[in-house]
Amino acid sequence: MAAEDLDKQPDSVSSVLKVFGILNALGDERDIGISELAQRVMMSKSTVYRFLQTMKTLGYVSQEEDTEKYSLTVKLFELGAKALQNVDVIRYANGPMRELSRQTKEAIHLGALDDDAIIYIHKIDSQYNLRMYSRIGRRNPIHSTAIGKVLMAWCDPGLREETLAKITFSPGTGNAVQRREDFLPLLEQVKQQGYAEDAEEQEEGVRCIAVPVFDRLGTVSVGLSLSLPTLRFSEEGRPQLVALLHAAARDISSQMGYHDYPY
């Protein structure tokens, strides 16, 4: 897109287009000076400098001290890797999730960590008439969801501390844990038993059970859950649901290269 076309865009759109124009130009050259970069993207040096400083602050661009030339950092690669990981896990998970849906007829979700919340990346709807406030792309709190508890239980300690520092422990339905000091012991229990529960903490009348899914490095980056109304839930039936969830998660983990599923 030409510079004159950028100027016709709304300010917010124009800024985004300029940022990606700069990123693309940086991607074409290992190291590039600000004058050459400004010429390539057809912007003023002052505009390019302003965007570069913001990208440096965010960690997407670095600057060589001696030459003062700019280059991309691996942070963009990390973002792309996360996107590819989600694409792969959805492809691997689809079959086992559909089989789990066939076995139980309940709603099945696959969720990942998204900053201070979880995000649903795949879903198989209940075969019953169960209405849930969930959809692919929807974000939900960590502390009041079974998937959120699973992801925190198996989370790297450093990332866990960083994530928990951002969380507001809202009451949800009133059943959710509301204090950090109560949440941490719960995560230990989740890891010991191999699954987490949401007992009407996110939605009244809905129970949820979630288990971890491991990637080839043994990292839990997604959780698999089953949701059902309280009227179909029973304490006696929980072990069977957990076993079915573990079987599906073991299958997905195996496809992702992890063959030592612990449950």
Is pLDDT at 82 greater than 80 in this prediction? Answer: no
Distance in angstroms (rounded) separating the CA atoms of residues 49 and 54: 9
pLDDT above 70 as % of the chain: 90
229-233 average pLDDT score: 92
Q: Provide the whole-model pTM.
A: 0.69
CB 93 within 8 A of CB 211: no
Cα 261 to chain centroid, rounded? 21
79-98 average pLDDT score: 79
Number of H-type helices and E-type strands within the chain: 9, 8
How many Cβ atoms from other residues are within 10 Å of residue 89's Cβ? 23
pLDDT digits (tens, 9 = 90+) for 93-105: 999 999 999 999 9
Q: Which residues are paired to 108 by β-bridges?
A: 124, 226
How many Cβ atoms from other residues are within 10 Å of residue 159's Cβ? 12
212-224 average pLDDT score: 94
Is pLDDT at 5 greater than 60 in this prediction? Answer: no
Residues 6 or more apart in contact with residue 68 via CB below 8 angstroms: 33, 34
Strands 139-141 and 206-214: what pairing? unpaired
CB 119 within 8 A of CB 142: no
Sign of CA dihedral 52, 56, 57, 58: positive
pLDDT at site 135: 75
Distance in angstroms (rounded) separating the CA atoms of residues 156 and 98: 30
Question: Helix, strand or coil for residue 193?
Answer: helix
Domains and CATH numbers, the chain: 14-83 (1.10.10.10), 87-256 (3.30.450.40)
- The lowest-confidence range among 6-15, 62-71, 208-217, 247-256 is 6-15
* Cα-based distances in Å from 238 to 1, 35, 116, 210: 57, 65, 29, 11
Counting beta carbons within 10 angstroms of the beta carbon of residue 68, is it exposed (0 to 12), middle (13 to 18) or buried (19 or more)?
exposed
Is pLDDT at 244 greater than 90 in this prediction? Answer: yes
pLDDT at site 138: 83
pLDDT digits (tens, 9 = 90+) for 117-167: 999 999 999 888 766 666 788 889 999 999 999 999 999 998 899 898 888
Report the chain's mean pLDDT, rounded to a whole number. Answer: 88
Is pLDDT at 10 greater than 60 in this prediction? Answer: no
